[in-house]
Structure 1
Amino acid sequence: MTIYQVLKKYWNYDSFRPLQEDIIQSVLDGKDTLALLPTGGGKSICFQVPAIVNPGICIVVSPLIALMKDQVENLKSRGIEAVAIVSGMGKREVDIMLDNCVYGKIKFLYLSPERLMSDLVRARISYMNVNLIAVDEAHCISQWGYDFRPPYLHIADIREIHPQVPVLALTATATERVVEDIQQKLLFKKPNVLRKSFARKNLSYVVAHEENKYRKLFSIAANIEGTGIVYVRNRRETQEVSRLLNNEGYNADFYHAGIDTPGRSLKQEAWKKNETRIIVATNAFGMGIDKPDVRFVVHLDLPGSLEAYYQEAGRGGRDEKKAYAVLLYNQADRIQLEKKLELSFPSIEEIRQVYHALGNYYQIAYGAGEGLVFEFDIGDFCSRFKLDALKTLSALKFLEHDEYISLTESVYLPSRLKIVVAAEDLYRFQIEYAGYDAFIKLLLRSYGGLFEQYTPVRESEIARRSGKTTREVMQILEKLEELGLLSYLKQTDMPQLQFVKARADGAHLNIDTKYIALRKQIMQSQVKAVVHYAEAKACRSRLLLEYFNEPESEKCGICDVCLEEKRLANSKGLFEQITFEIIQLLSAEHLSLEEIITSLHSGNEKERIDALRNLLDAGKVKSDGIGYYL
């Protein structure tokens, strides 16, 4: 099939968006390619189409577990075989999935970057017929980027296993330094960057200097029709701002990473269907959510970087119709952001303290724990050891960089089952243990493939069909696992923390201080750029485009600064026109104030009086107390 036939068959599109076809052709020509496409530019089609055209499997590395799962479901709904291996899955479950990738008909293997640190995964990839390595959110590989993820550095390991396979790196945000770093870290054979301009001609960027931000927010909601997103700093604020909006009569809901995955999905769907008008969220919201008709995106607080701001603001107006990206700013925000910067860099002693507390939290002895994975509740952890949450998160990131631990986002995995004995052994068990016979038959009738792979199940559904309680169903499944009949993995909705190395004692914990100093320098420059954007009196679009290495861009004409310049220019022209008309009138005769005001064609009454007063002050027009003359 050609790329056009694939596009039509699986997506029912007749043509590609700008640059998509160039990217796909570059990949099919076997070239390592870095594609810079703005948010909503259709990145996934750029690797999915060439991977389907060619025989073999495409490996997709992405840091966003929720997005990976969405894409897998999307591909499956189109009849394309795809799987995702994420943290939280058991070794046996991963083993079966990797087997299917080697010997089965799987076209797409989605991996979180942490999985690339596993010797098992790397070994099995060596047996796969890989046709493409796709790296989503590729800026995560660069320490100069705004969201550096150390496990991304292991993508180069796959390149060494399959040196002839091209790499397609995709990102929506990258400065020139990050662009160079991505190609270097991914071992590009030749530099090859395809980019679409970051300009968004339909998006009006506005910075409003406001002390009363809520009043301004209500004004935006009242005056701009359609759905919107409001980004706030923390989880508590999402609920508070959502409540205030609802009190004012605006249909709003809140969203943050602390809500369980089914709950988050319900909120997303209600917003996408316009049942909820405004979603108030932390930066956990938006990745992979393609809603074209968002009319406004409001930031109540300063973002940490212009990369993050561009990506979040860019969720507005994907349908190419007018939309607004509004940043509400005051001096307190600047102080808050600078304070956050300081908290993001704990001392070496504080990092050691967090690592030591982790060992105690999970009761791991020194020299033990390598490879162990645990669910991680940061709230409980910080509470138990009286630690600051922001400093702790930062400490964990530095420990991750030095490969002592690996920490993933919260991930919802449903309960899964796999029968681990042969069919004849299961039948023999049913005869010997008649009490379990009806329950096992119900499982086999309800779920296909239990002998081949781990299959998602719902205990509540099994309970409904069997007339038992959910608790009883779980107890029976646990008993059948104990008897060696099946493997039962319970659902989870927590971040996963893995000890990459055995627990080290304080004396042998080597922290990369040079790296920490570099990260601080990078973050300081990012904060400086954000503050400059908020305070500069220059075209907002040009400021953003200059940051992303488009220095020759034109003024947008629709941001707050451009509109103010137009207004001033128009008012100056209007003032000159009224002045000219007054002089024309008075050159012929004496006129009273009322006669002048009513005879003029330009401006309103106030503008006409102001122009006359200005002429009097300059001595160009005189008055005898009754009328006016030159």
Structure 2
Amino acid sequence: MSDLHAVLKQYWGYDHFRPVQEEAIRSVLEGNDTLLLLPTGGGKSICFQVPVLTMEGVCIVVTPLIALMKDQVEQLKRRNIPAAAIHSGMNRHEIDITLDNCIHGQTKFLYVSPERLRTDIMIARTRQMKVCLLAVDEAHCISAWGYDFRPSYLLIADFRLLIPNVPVMALTATATEQVQIDIIERLEMKPAKVFRQSFARANLSYSTFPEENKERKLLQILKNVPGTAIVYVRTRKRTKELADWLTKQGVRASGYNAGLPFKERSDRQTAWIKNQIRVVVATNAFGMGIDKPDVRTVVHFDLPDNLEAYYQEAGRAGRDEKKSFAVALYNKIDLDELAENVERKYPPMDVLRKVYQSLANYYKIPVGGGEFLGNSFDIQHFTGVFGLIVNETHFALKLLEEEGFIQLSENFNDPARIHFEVDNRQLYDFQIRYPEFDSFIKLMLRLYGGELFTEYVRISETELGQIYFAPEAEIIKKLTFLKERGIIDYEARRDKPQLTFLTPRFDAAQLPLNVFEIERRRERDRQKARAVIQYASNKNRCRTLLLLEYFNEMDGHECGVCDVCIRKKKNEANAGINEELGNKILHYLKDNGSVTPRFLSQMFENVAESLFLQTLKYLIEEEIVQYDNVGKLNLNSKYHS
């Protein structure tokens, strides 16, 4: 067994593993099926990446989100670790080359969506690969009891039959006891070694505040806690409105949502990471795969639908293990809306069939066709063409996705890619016949290297144009010409949302919707919404304990830093406050106006000094008594009446 610490140091620069990481890694190396539960930011990826770098063969990583898939591949490549991904934005030839590279040992990590596991090409090529590990990221998606169930995850157990002696590592940040049982059973993990790190975050203070004026409270929080922050809201419209409002208040803020053009999203994200922007106001499209350890505050301006999402999003604060704050703001309307949101998420079955039929008509897909074909998708145009209600259609699409019929990648960017279809000799012949292309071809070879002959390489038409001193339109024209002559395969850049049919198209009337399962999920979501309401409304129990118990961690301790614990400490400290003395101080200030602390203490010199100071401190902390700008004490104007 290679030195795991040497691998960790060489590729990640760390000297030591975090708790649980090394034990889980050694379990995999011993050939055990392994379930790993680590909090958000706990370093899950390292737990399957490190052992694979000490093993012979390729690791197949199953993950549900294209954006996360691409981010992981890019991170590995930056560390000089060969990795690739297969997703709906790729053509068959590109998939072919990617899988060939896995067979011939040129790739260590292959990221795939679960839907890909049942394709003929994936099955055939997997039989030829030397697979050393199957890693299942976001493993909670396999459980109907989870908050993000995906039927396509159920394909993984059948896929394991192709690689019967290969261990599986399942990873998730959020899993209740029922979900853990489901993961083990549905992945047929025999026997399963389970490793978990406590969900408690000692450096993270959780608080919730009932607020009618949430904007004012948000501004107060940002003034009290310096450093970068994320503010989560429910709608795209509110990301802009709230970011604009914060900017007017002198807070450097920017809105972020999946509806923005890719370059704008990327620029805003980069500005925030580089601390050029202090606050990002975002929908839940923001945060996954972003490695920024020094986020000091995460504020939920709108409550999420479930505590799993809340824990993941709040957990993006304080990954550097320094003191940080997770704050949720709510009012009575918010609590009512949580319950209503659940009902909106489940439109009637006839609406699902109508939207599905409209999609088939929109893309002109015949019954039995369309599987895995990616299409650009504009929900405004789509609903306009068929006279559909946008909000209802959005939820119908989400439900069709949960049922495994379609995949909708809203936060999508697919850079241009090229691959040389000819060998060196044929390319040279072309350069002789078309000398005007000679310098352009040489530039591409210089920029992107010999990989152009072995795989599809991401390119930037803009970058090529800048170096070649030509407008982007001319670069695209040249690339298209080379493609038409069979010299390259050129896939143009795409940055619009993508919709993919994951199965051959059904007759909408015969669409096999699992009505019983959908109803069960509706009831599950109702329970989860009730759990959020109970968490937000709670005034008596430590918030960390509430979260731990939700995730079946029953041996936790009060955190001492949440709003409930702090209030308890304050009440205990103030238990000895003399109410009669407090009233006398207030009457004195009301009658006599501002006085210095020393003068006030002299007025009560017959009272024990410790009792006087403790009572005065309480009045100041409760903002009943306050200092003016010259350091004198006076009664808060609210208490003059």
1:541 to 530, 537, 544: 544
The separation in 1 between residues aligned to 2:27 and 2:614, in whole angstroms, is 63
The separation in 1 between residues aligned to 2:26 and 2:438, in whole angstroms, is 56
Q: Which residue of 2 aligns with 1:255?
A: 256
Amino acid at match of 1:15: H
Aligned partners of 1:136 and 1:171 also within 8 Å: yes
Q: Taking structure 1 as the reference length, what is the TM-score of the superposition? A: 0.90
Unpaired runs of at least 5, structure 2: 583-600, 620-641
C-alpha RMSD over aligned residues: 2.4
Amino acid at match of 1:225: P
Aligned partners of 1:356 and 1:506 also within 8 Å: yes
Aligned partners of 1:85 and 1:111 also within 8 Å: yes
Q: Which residue of 1 aligns with 2:349?
A: 348
How far off its partner does 1:604 sit? 4.4
The separation in 1 between residues aligned to 2:163 and 2:383, in whole angstroms, is 42
**Tell me, what secondary structure is at the counterpart of 1:412?**
coil
Amino acid at match of 2:501: F
After superposition, what is the alpha-carbon deviation per residue over 1:590-610, rounded to whole angstroms, capped at 9, x for unaligned? Answer: xxx9976643323449959x9
2:557 to 554, 558, 565: 554
Q: 1:220 to 1:402 in 2, by over 3 A?
A: closer
Aligned partners of 2:207 and 2:543 also within 8 Å: yes
Q: Which residue of 2 aligns with 1:313?
A: 314
2:472 to 459, 470, 473: 470
The separation in 2 between residues aligned to 1:305 and 1:403, in whole angstroms, is 22
Superposition pairs of residues 349-364 of structure 1, within 5 angstroms: 349-364=350-365
How far off its partner does 1:2 sit? 1.6
Q: 1:364 to 1:220 in 2, by over 3 A?
A: same
How far off its partner does 1:544 sit? 0.8
After superposition, what is the alpha-carbon deviation per residue over 1:213-238, rounded to whole angstroms, capped at 9, x for unaligned? Answer: 00000100111111111111111111
How far off its partner does 1:249 sit? 0.8
Whether 2:584 is the aligned partner of 1:599: answer: no
Aligned partners of 2:140 and 2:174 also within 8 Å: yes
After superposition, what is the alpha-carbon deviation per residue over 1:360-403, rounded to whole angstroms, capped at 9, x for unaligned? Answer: 11122344434433122233222332333443233234434544
Aligned partners of 1:58 and 1:133 also within 8 Å: yes
Superposition pairs of residues 602-613 of structure 1, within 5 angstroms: 602-604=610-612, 607=615
After superposition, what is the alpha-carbon deviation per residue over 1:63-99, rounded to whole angstroms, capped at 9, x for unaligned? Answer: 2323322222222222221112222011111110110
Please identify, of 512-521 and 4-13, the stretch whose mean Cα deviation from structure 2 is larger. 4-13
**Tell me, what secondary structure is at the counterpart of 1:315?**
coil
Whether 2:109 is the aligned partner of 1:108: answer: yes
Aligned partners of 1:231 and 1:280 also within 8 Å: yes
Q: 1:445 to 1:54 in 2, by over 3 A?
A: closer
Superposition pairs of residues 460-609 of structure 1, within 5 angstroms: 460-537=462-539, 538-575=541-578, 598-604=606-612, 607=615
Percent of matched pairs sharing the same residue: 51
Superposition pairs of residues 100-499 of structure 1, within 5 angstroms: 100-449=101-450, 450-499=452-501
Q: Which residue of 1 aligns with 2:631?
A: none
Aligned partners of 2:142 and 2:186 also within 8 Å: yes
After superposition, what is the alpha-carbon deviation per residue over 1:14-56, rounded to whole angstroms, capped at 9, x for unaligned? Answer: 2111111111111111111111111111111101111111111
How far off its partner does 1:486 sit? 1.8
The separation in 1 between residues aligned to 2:469 and 2:325, in whole angstroms, is 54
**Tell me, what secondary structure is at the counterpart of 1:200?**
coil
The separation in 2 between residues aligned to 1:551 and 1:576, in whole angstroms, is 39
Q: 1:323 to 1:432 in 2, by over 3 A?
A: closer
Q: 1:280 to 1:398 in 2, by over 3 A?
A: closer
Please identify, of 267-276 and 538-547, the stretch whose mean Cα deviation from structure 2 is larger. 267-276
Q: 1:464 to 1:606 in 2, by over 3 A?
A: closer
Amino acid at match of 2:415: P
Aligned partners of 2:88 and 2:372 also within 8 Å: no
Q: Taking structure 2 as the reference length, what is the TM-score of the superposition? A: 0.88
How far off its partner does 1:156 sit? 1.8
The separation in 2 between residues aligned to 1:121 and 1:606, in whole angstroms, is 72
Aligned partners of 2:115 and 2:502 also within 8 Å: no
Amino acid at match of 1:541: T
The separation in 2 between residues aligned to 1:179 and 1:203, in whole angstroms, is 25
Q: 1:116 to 1:389 in 2, by over 3 A?
A: farther
Please identify, of 280-289 and 205-214, the stretch whose mean Cα deviation from structure 2 is larger. 280-289
Q: Which residue of 1 aligns with 2:7?
A: 6
Aligned partners of 1:297 and 1:316 also within 8 Å: yes
How far off its partner does 1:476 sit? 2.6
Aligned partners of 1:57 and 1:101 also within 8 Å: yes
After superposition, what is the alpha-carbon deviation per residue over 1:104-123, rounded to whole angstroms, capped at 9, x for unaligned? Answer: 32111111223224221222
**Tell me, what secondary structure is at the counterpart of 2:483?**
helix
Please identify, of 392-401 and 348-357, the stretch whose mean Cα deviation from structure 2 is larger. 392-401
The separation in 1 between residues aligned to 2:19 and 2:580, in whole angstroms, is 45
**Tell me, what secondary structure is at the counterpart of 1:174?**
coil
How far off its partner does 1:11 sit? 1.9
How far off its partner does 1:344 sit? 0.5
The separation in 2 between residues aligned to 1:576 and 1:214, in whole angstroms, is 34
The separation in 1 between residues aligned to 2:31 and 2:303, in whole angstroms, is 42
How far off its partner does 1:466 sit? 3.8
The separation in 1 between residues aligned to 2:320 and 2:229, in whole angstroms, is 14
Q: 1:390 to 1:33 in 2, by over 3 A?
A: farther
The separation in 1 between residues aligned to 2:51 and 2:148, in whole angstroms, is 28
Please identify, of 268-277 and 172-181, the stretch whose mean Cα deviation from structure 2 is larger. 268-277
